[in-house]
Structure 1
């Protein structure tokens, strides 16, 4: 149950992800759902009834009404990417804190307009990448930072994919150029890029090179692609994202002394049971090699959590909003910086594809 100082959320749109976030907002102890807006009052009312929203939640037949509601402190925006800049800027101008679904924009120029509006109006910005809020993520960072076990980071590989079928590939919002023109690169590639940047403490690569063989749907939207990223000190990363292959959300990080691997980055398999796992191995374990094995068996770490990662995301965002409202702090800048760096790399991958798979320099 939310307390009396709970941050009051409004949701723009009744997308499927809104189901999960509406429940997360109602579960978080410092948040409450005040309003939801749809393109029609009928659709919003149906959504509220089907998903058991509290009776006190205001249902509006437009996004504008949510943004204009003086009793809404923050908005969650799960609209198609092509609509983000218009509604995120409008929300910021009305003093609403912005939790924006990923990918955050069609390109970094659009994102900069959003971030400038948020900064100008003193509101918090955060993107909807949920996995970074899971306590497993902090535990993995601990492992990567252990020089004795992991050593120096050398290589990262991430594979993010699912196969929703031909109807989705050609007709879904995520596959229409005017709505979500980044396709698989924006939908699941965002996670790979974010994971890579997270592993290197958000140091941008020097160059990006997309792999030949990008697949497009009938509308010219990317449905499968891959890329490599390179740093001046010799570190490298690769990723592949696709709407054409079997479900996979994997990340492998290799160091000079150890490795870290997980198969369920975006949504932990066991999260409903209050935990998340990852595997870690190092040469420190070589003395424990079992007979008949050529390498140490990886250690499986189980990280317990009180809330699911979407609830933790809402909780962390709401905590920042409350502190800003009380005058205890200015909006936290780390979140928009991380979003922008992810978008910069995503843009570079897209540019490399468009330039016939030529390398694209990013720099610092």
Structure 2
């Protein structure tokens, strides 16, 4: 008998897991079955708080919803050995992910893993191979991969008259951390999150650059950490450049020290596409982008730079609704689990391969930083 509900276990009670708790609830094909933390009281508190805002339900064969309560566990091992869990969402710090992804695979659990997926690419490769050997799916938790905006925006990029040939990708993702960030946030801890802002924010910039260029790998990258947090020298600002073999270039900047920005600009030889919320959409019932085809007209003494902008949108709530990107991510992955196919992906590239490509680019950028920004080559 084919299952109709994917039963999720959460490893870790991180803040982002609360968003995915609601995504599971809104997905229509999933339920949170268990939450594990090293401190069982923290797991209990997480379940209590999330349930107060978004009570978990399970659907029966008649599509009737019944309230349920996930089990709180004080051991990750106990969750992975549970027969009541089909897939796990791993929100543990980067330095701990390899161990628990491999353990989850060996226990026959499908995996969504927070990003960056690993400390370095060889670890990521080992994690993904463990999932493939066990016949379980693997995906990193990049929510915008699953937005309805990207396929429609791809159509805008294919407009030869208004966009033309892709030439440049530029992204910026930043927020200004408060005074307590360095003392209390794990993203400032070099042992747990060694990539700092590059792993936390730059991962999205790298991913958008890969998406825009059809997931081709860059042939070389250059990167510099322009500021660090004192504790362990975690990068707090990072700028990077990517060079592709089709003459496309990409640049990005990410920071824990600048005002909140989430800008992406994709430039062609005829026009460009702009978004100012490419990671977390602004609160709305639509997600939007603009196609710009400004032109400069010169006639003797008259110089006119003409504005030509077209706004586009798709119906999709920013967060917490059945059509929002994080809910699509959970629903898509759960559908894959329930159908036993393990090939869910944003586009035609396997989700695990996309995660590994992103990790390899990140690794090369870290190597470049160590070499004072020298260009580092990547294998095609």
Q: TM-score, normalised by structure 2?
A: 0.88
Taking a change above 3 Å as real, the CA distance of residues 164 and 99 of structure 1, as seen in their structure-2 partners, is: same
Distance 1:337 1:79 in 2: 21
In structure 1, runs of 5+ residues without a counterpart are 287-291
What CA RMSD, in Å, does the superposition of the two structures yield over aligned residues?
A: 2.1
* Cα distance, 1:141 vs structure 2: 1.2
Identify the residue that residue 363 of structure 1 maps to in structure 2.
379
Identify the residue that residue 208 of structure 1 maps to in structure 2.
221
Taking a change above 3 Å as real, the CA distance of residues 348 and 214 of structure 1, as seen in their structure-2 partners, is: farther
DSSP-derived class of the 1:222 partner = strand
Query: Map of 1:63-74 to 2, 5 A cutoff?
Result: 63-74=76-87
More strand by share: 2
Contact 2:225 2:236 in 1 (8 A): no
Identify the residue that residue 45 of structure 2 maps to in structure 1.
46
1:279 equivalent among 271, 290, 295: 290
2:180 equivalent among 163, 167, 183: 167
How many residues are aligned here? 352
Comparing 18-27 with 53-62, greater Cα deviation is found at 53-62
Contact 1:123 1:331 in 2 (8 A): no
Instruction: Write the deviation string for residues 78-109 of structure 1: whole angstroms up to 9, x where unpaired.
Output: 11001110001100111100001111111101
DSSP-derived class of the 1:70 partner = coil
Identify the residue that residue 113 of structure 2 maps to in structure 1.
100
Identify the residue that residue 307 of structure 1 maps to in structure 2.
323
Distance 1:137 1:293 in 2: 33
Taking a change above 3 Å as real, the CA distance of residues 164 and 214 of structure 1, as seen in their structure-2 partners, is: closer
Identify the residue that residue 25 of structure 2 maps to in structure 1.
26
Distance 1:167 1:315 in 2: 36
Identify the residue that residue 349 of structure 1 maps to in structure 2.
365
Query: Map of 1:134-145 to 2, 5 A cutoff?
Result: 134-145=147-158
Question: Is residue 219 of structure 1 aligned with residue 240 of structure 2?
Answer: no
DSSP-derived class of the 1:245 partner = strand
Instruction: Write the deviation string for residues 110-156 of structure 1: whole angstroms up to 9, x where unpaired.
Output: 10111011000000111100011110111111111222321110011
1:323 equivalent among 339, 345, 350: 339
More helix by share: 1
Query: Map of 1:57-206 to 2, 5 A cutoff?
Result: 57-206=70-219
Question: Is residue 334 of structure 1 aligned with residue 350 of structure 2?
Answer: yes
DSSP-derived class of the 2:176 partner = coil
Query: Map of 1:237-276 to 2, 5 A cutoff?
Result: 237-270=250-283, 273-276=284-287
Distance 2:183 2:240 in 1: 23
Distance 1:119 1:363 in 2: 22
* Cα distance, 1:68 vs structure 2: 0.9
* Cα distance, 1:259 vs structure 2: 0.4
Distance 1:170 1:181 in 2: 15
DSSP-derived class of the 2:311 partner = strand
Taking a change above 3 Å as real, the CA distance of residues 28 and 34 of structure 1, as seen in their structure-2 partners, is: same
Distance 2:137 2:328 in 1: 16
Instruction: Write the deviation string for residues 38-84 of structure 1: whole angstroms up to 9, x where unpaired.
Output: 11221111111122154431111121111111110000001100111
* Cα distance, 1:311 vs structure 2: 0.4
Contact 2:143 2:325 in 1 (8 A): yes
* Cα distance, 1:223 vs structure 2: 0.7
Contact 1:251 1:265 in 2 (8 A): yes
* Cα distance, 1:330 vs structure 2: 5.1
DSSP-derived class of the 1:213 partner = strand
Distance 2:48 2:244 in 1: 51
